[in-house]
Amino acid sequence: MSYDTASTSSNSSARKIFVRSSYGLLDNYIVRPLSQQDKEKFKVLLLRLTVSCGWALHWVNKPEAKELFEFLNPHLKLPDRRALGGQILEAAVSEADKAMHEALREDPTGVTLTFDGWTNVKNEQLLGVMIITSEGKPYVWKATDISIERESHIEVMEKTKIMIDELKNMEVKVSAVVTDSAGPYAASRYFCLILFVLVY
């Protein structure tokens, strides 16, 4: 790197400094090819952006989206919607499940199993299950379609026992079960109390 100086006028002591670099333009170093690790992270960030903004998966196929990312970095190649909603989504869910299972297994006190039933916009009856750690961190575990099933205390108790046994097989300790106040769920809570006293 070299420096050149030039006077602005014959009567002025102020000088301008010009810098000449042998490394080339800075623009050549702003944009760089992505490593494989960078590419995987880029896919995850794209998926998180899609979910956070509530966008349909086909936004990545829009010419305007491709033009924007090519302008930001020509090395950024958008996946199509099938890849985003397929292998990229499956990989992200798998990694999230692994992290969740590890956190639940390592909970020293035990987790709280919470579930509730509701009806979605398609008028489907769903049973949602959430697990809360002893530190208060929630994890969405599963949602089951029970539209074709008759929701009575017998069915709810059976599902509750299956969930507790599944968590036990995952080496996750369940310390409490929380439900709403509906009759079938209240009966299930009483069943869980007996189950914990006699079995667990």
Residue 81 and residue 21 share a domain: yes
**Into how many domains does the chain fold?**
2
d(CA 195, CA 174): 12
Q: What is the pLDDT along the chain (200 residues), one digit of tens a residue?
A: 544 444 444 454 556 554 555 555 555 556 677 888 888 999 999 999 999 999 999 999 999 999 999 888 888 889 999 999 999 999 998 998 999 999 999 998 889 888 777 777 777 777 788 899 999 999 988 877 766 655 555 666 677 778 888 888 889 988 888 776 555 555 555 555 555 544 44
Looking up residue 154, the CATH number of its domain turns out to be: 3.30.420
Instruction: State which residues form the domain around 80.
Output: 2-99
Give the predicted TM-score (pTM) of the model: 0.59
Final residue of a structural domain among 49, 77, 99:
99
Map tokens 């709403």 to a residue.
180
Which of these, 162, 90, 159, 161, lies nearest to 126 by C-alpha position?
159
Q: Examine residue 58 and state whether it is found in any structural domain, yes or no.
A: yes
Residue 153 and residue 77 share a domain: no
Q: Examine residue 104 and state whether it is found in any structural domain, yes or no.
A: no
Final residue of a structural domain among 57, 81, 99:
99
Residue 115 and residue 71 share a domain: no
Residue 161 and residue 92 share a domain: no
